[in-house]
Structure 1
Amino acid sequence: MSAEKRWVLKEQGEPAKVARLATALEIPPVLANLLVQRGIETEEEAWQFFNPKLENLHDPFLMKDMRKAVERVDLALSRGESIMVYGDYDVDGTTAVALVYSFLRRLGHKALMFYIPDRYTEGYGVSYKAIDHAQRKGVGVIITLDCGIKATEKVAYAKERGIDMIICDHHLPGEKIPEAVAVLDPKRADCPYPFKELSGCGVGFKMLQGYCLYKGLPFSEVECLLDLVVVSIASDIVPLVGENRILAYYGLKRLNEKPGKGLQSIIKICGLEKHAITIDDIVFKIGPRINAAGRMEVDAEGENAAPSGGHSAVYLMVARDEEVATEYGAFIDRSNQDRKNIDRSVTQEAHDFIEHHPQMKELKSTVIYNPQWMKGIVGIVASRLIETYYRPTVVLTMSNGFVTGSARSVPGFDLYQAVESCADLLENFGGHMYAAGMTMKPENVEMFTKRFNDYVEEHIDPEMLIPQVDIDSELLFSDITPHFRATLARFQPFGPGNTAPVFVTRNVSNRGDARLVGAEREHLKMDLIQGQKPNTVIPAIAFQQPKLYEYVRTGRSIDVCYSVVENHYRGAVFAQLRIKDIKKSNPTAAKD
């Protein structure tokens, strides 16, 4: 099990800048400090941050190849050419496909189809099988979303068959850009687009925005699809800054006020229709259900098979009929339940294996292989194992004659470099600093395990193996006023690059009402007080933290780090602390 967490206080904002902002904006200094920590130092920058505006979205024609893309789409529409909208099987890919498909359908285009590759038989990215299918169906243009930037050979293969391709991707390109009709990717070295961190669905949105400008169509034609864009932004964990912040802000507004029928059915299933949906709700409730469809293995085959896998997620999100949306929503929810059951079972098997092999627990990384595990859930299992053992983790299984797997990292350690150091043992691999995937021959598993473990042993800083809580600043409970909460709410939506702030308050206590809640009494719920003032009593919950229950309920002094959230109960709205970690107070520390 992992060691006690390290609490690290972030560097504080320059006092003069903080004071100037606090005065100019009439906000508490602790929140002005948050702005400065986030690189917002002037009143004008703060105003733009607190008031996202759609008119501040960048001109889509700043993106390399945008004009070529919209002209080719327009030509296809005017000719009545058949268009295939193609995307990856995860949330970003399926929302992107639903976005572009819905838009083109609303324009009245009839010769339209979508395609999601099967995770198990086709794998990630553009597949030859899809191109062959497109040729049989007489498709003239394939629009790829959230994939295609490295599909050089597939683009050439499609071209030989008389099919043009438009690529919309957000991943890093390889050495060569595919020779497609247009390649939209802000991460292209030759692309001057000012914002580089769009999701795959976000790049698709920019193409549609560009098309509207090109044809003189009102922005409302694409604005109504922003609920799909925010689901992709939240689920793909892209930075919630710049253009993504604007898209997410208005996407959440749409998701809360007038979502599409498909997303509405998922919102109901998740029990979210009665309160304001947040980024966290998408990440933990909506996104996993959409993802589950593409994770589960599919038995159906053939041209007339029922929609399944990632296709069912798109059918859900493009549904215009409430009954159809409800049907697909229920199917996807069952897929998610199946996924959770398998995920729970495999995670337990992995835990049992590690616990029965003590030598594995002594290592600084985990590589675990079982050919029976389902390919679609190994990434989730890797993340679960990190929650317990807190070290870089690779989970491997067998698929189509090859060993395939997913890797996850801990903050600060470059996992991609560790995997890349074993490149000669791999058939292919990809990913980034904190997540990667790989494929290898079965005979290479033993050597990969040794080499990966050796690399981590040599390169990881021991401190990276201790969970860390990053704290924005110190706070007194008496500072958490209605004005403070109202101002804090304006920092939303929270996400990477603009995380929910974490505060620390020292020497607080409980007056004996602490209790364990949850099915397995795994969560600690309590009221906390600082000093003797009644207005400093604040309800708090510490998820998965029962260990200090007996200590806390005796009223002894503790330090807590937490986020401030709003809790809705019977029409009332009140502040609640979502506890990140608890420590016994230092008895020599100054009291409030």
Structure 2
Amino acid sequence: MQTILEHKQQSYTKEEQCVIDEVSSTYKLYDFVAAIICMRNAFNLDEIKEYILGTTRPKSYKGLKDIEKAISLITESISLNEKIRIVGDYDVDGVTSTYVLLTVFEALNYPHISHYLPVREKDGYGLNPDIVANAHADGVSLLITVDNGISAVEAVASAKELGMKVIVTDHHELPNELPIADAIINPHQVDCDYPYKSLAGVGIAYKLGQALISHFKLKPAPALVARIQGLVALGTVCDVAPLVGENRHMVKTGLGALNKGALPAATMINSRISVGTLGFQIGPRLNACGRLESAETALEYLRTTDPNTLYPFKQRLDSLNKERQDEEMDSIARVNAKVEAMTTLPDIIIDIDEMAHESVVGLVAGRIKEKYYRPTVVFSRTIHGTYKGSGRSIEEYDMFQSFKPFLHLLDGGGGHPMACGLKASTVEQIHAFAKAVNEASSLTEHDKTPKIYVDKCIYNAYEYDFNELEKQLRLFLPTGAGNSAPTLLIKDASLKFNTKYAKNHRISEVVANFGPKSIASTLWNDDTLPEAGDYTGDITLQVSETGWQIKSIYLAI
């Protein structure tokens, strides 16, 4: 699919230019690097300083609505020696959220704490009446949800009928009806004064943990603090929360802790921890547990510290991840065949793959979305005969808000601007929903075309010291969702290609020469590139944790 190159803002007001000049002079930056940093921080000098120096101050947990209620409820339960149960989720965010609170209760030396991670096929997503009933049968008095619960109206009502107390901590968008819990900690609540709304579930669990540590005047061991920091980074990155403001600070801190061995389970997978290794190596292995087996396996792995136990445990995760990859590829092939057979591609692709394992449909939706650059939902048939769907969106389409008016056509759903989870009882419901959301779509052809946003076009590479430029662009790290690596467009580079094939992948090895600089990079599965030979063309570049990376190539005709 053809990609559009779009150039970002290059003109500024007089006041903005003054800020850029000051930042460039103060921090010895190229003007365009200073300009990018200024734009990302709304030309606010205090925020710019925090961004460059990495000194963003975390917000006080006290701004979170109901946080004091939650502390009172937990304090009361502890004083009465009541049983407390944490109910998490089966993805990495849910598992790390659970582990963060377990670590805090470990610091409290409170023995009457337990947890439950839903089994995807048996329990579905989040707190449900059966989980509540089992907790009640176990004598649990207080339930604390992490990374779920904001849509659990029936389950919370069931808990209240049984005389239980419920604290909901969640970061998902608010549904039309909220559960009647004793406390709800979710920054999206309209009367919540917390200024940063983009925390992942683990970030909110961390805030509750901070409040407990402060309330009980604890001084946790440095190893426990480092563990929590590492878990927050892992969950935040794997939930694709925006790496801006407080999230960026917490991820940066957590990466430091992880690279010092805070979580031996993480460094067993890769000894050098970065956003990339969290998102593409560690996260998928942990998620494979919740997809195909049980999230308890992921939690147990994260809690393991003995290297002799960790290695065979890692092999088990590798095996589960391979099984997940095979399931995913099979489903992608089936869904893609149906999409290719469509005479007209709809704005929003919605498909049912009856043969798919329900755990992989979100991944499949993501791959189909990438190929066609359309918001995509893929449903699978559950063991109960109902349907579960998972969606992935494009930047131009707020999936949650766009779907919200039509959720009454299904059995329910929720999510974020970029992703959703849906439930249906019948195929007819899904077809009616697909028809409604497509009729309501206002996506344009421009919206449905993938874009690379160029921060700086460089015509003469000799004007720059690329070693110094790399150093300056590293100021943006850690990069990820909401804080992408700046993209440079280099004009008229000399390119040498060599292509290899391995395991159904086309691997293009490229050496680019421009001005005084030579960069070698690898691009995967781009069949628009030549097999071999020397060419001239434009390239886009970014700096990652490992150095310069060629992101795309546009050959001269």
CA apart distance, 1:418: 5.0
Change (3 A) 1:77 1:453: closer
Q: In the alignment, does 2:525 pair up with 1:544?
A: yes
Change (3 A) 1:161 1:500: same
Residue aligning to 1:572:
none
Residue aligning to 1:9:
7
> What secondary structure sits across from 2:446 in the alignment?
helix
Aligned-partner residue type, residue 96 of structure 2: T
Normalised TM-score (structure 2)? 0.91
- Give the number of equivalent residue pairs: 547
**Contact preservation (8 Å) 1:96, 1:145:** yes
Aligned-partner residue type, residue 264 of structure 2: K
CA apart distance, 1:323: 4.3
Change (3 A) 1:158 1:362: closer
**Contact preservation (8 Å) 1:315, 1:328:** no
Distance of 1:156 and 1:537 partners within structure 2: 63
Residue aligning to 1:561:
540
Distance of 1:566 and 1:226 partners within structure 2: 20
Distance of 2:434 and 2:545 partners within structure 1: 48
Change (3 A) 1:434 1:44: closer
**Contact preservation (8 Å) 1:83, 1:111:** yes
Change (3 A) 1:171 1:57: same
Residue aligning to 2:371:
388
Aligned-partner residue type, residue 215 of structure 2: Y
1:494 aligned residue (475, 479, 482): 479
**Contact preservation (8 Å) 1:523, 1:546:** no
Residue aligning to 2:29:
27
Residue aligning to 1:406:
390
Q: In the alignment, does 2:280 pair up with 1:284?
A: yes
Distance of 2:66 and 2:375 partners within structure 1: 39
**Contact preservation (8 Å) 2:403, 2:437:** no
Normalised TM-score (structure 1)? 0.86
User: Which has the higher mean CA deviation after the structures are superposed, 413-422 or 143-152?
Assistant: 413-422
CA apart distance, 1:464: 1.9
Q: In the alignment, does 2:145 pair up with 1:144?
A: yes
CA apart distance, 1:321: 4.1
Q: In the alignment, does 2:302 pair up with 1:317?
A: yes
> What secondary structure sits across from 1:375 in the alignment?
coil
CA apart distance, 1:155: 2.1
Aligned-partner residue type, residue 387 of structure 2: V
User: Which has the higher mean CA deviation after the structures are superposed, 384-393 or 173-182?
Assistant: 173-182
CA apart distance, 1:325: 4.0
Residue aligning to 2:109:
108
CA apart distance, 1:508: 0.9
Distance of 2:497 and 2:118 partners within structure 1: 50
**Contact preservation (8 Å) 2:485, 2:544:** no
Gaps of 5+ in 1: 297-307, 568-574, 587-592
Distance of 1:453 and 1:184 partners within structure 2: 31
Residue aligning to 2:506:
522
> What secondary structure sits across from 1:89 in the alignment?
coil
Distance of 1:445 and 1:179 partners within structure 2: 29
Residue aligning to 1:429:
413
**Contact preservation (8 Å) 2:466, 2:517:** no
Residue aligning to 2:356:
373
Distance of 1:518 and 1:77 partners within structure 2: 60
Distance of 2:121 and 2:181 partners within structure 1: 27
Aligned-partner residue type, residue 280 of structure 1: G
CA apart distance, 1:313: 1.3
Give a deviation string over 1:344-389, Cα, whole Å, max 9, x none: 111122223344x342x54444332232211111111111112322
Residue aligning to 1:582:
553
Alignment of 1:88-487 (within 5 A): 88-218=89-219, 220=222, 222-263=225-266, 267-269=267-269, 272-273=270-271, 275=272, 277-296=273-292, 308-355=293-340, 357-359=341-343, 362-399=345-382, 400-416=384-400, 418-420=402-404, 422-444=406-428, 447-448=431-432, 451-452=435-436, 454-455=438-439, 459-475=442-458, 476-478=460-462, 479-487=464-472
Distance of 1:319 and 1:74 partners within structure 2: 29
CA apart distance, 1:30: 2.1
Give the CA RMSD over aligned residues: 2.4
Distance of 1:548 and 1:388 partners within structure 2: 17
Change (3 A) 1:156 1:502: same
**Contact preservation (8 Å) 1:103, 1:222:** no
User: Which has the higher mean CA deviation after the structures are superposed, 110-119 or 321-330?
Assistant: 321-330
Q: Between the two proteins, what is the percent identity of the paired residues? A: 26
CA apart distance, 1:159: 2.4
**Contact preservation (8 Å) 1:418, 1:455:** no
Distance of 2:555 and 2:19 partners within structure 1: 34
1:505 aligned residue (481, 490, 494): 490
Distance of 1:320 and 1:146 partners within structure 2: 25
Change (3 A) 1:130 1:445: closer
Residue aligning to 1:301:
none
User: Which has the higher mean CA deviation after the structures are superposed, 172-181 or 253-262?
Assistant: 172-181
Change (3 A) 1:432 1:202: closer
Change (3 A) 1:351 1:397: same
Distance of 1:331 and 1:378 partners within structure 2: 22
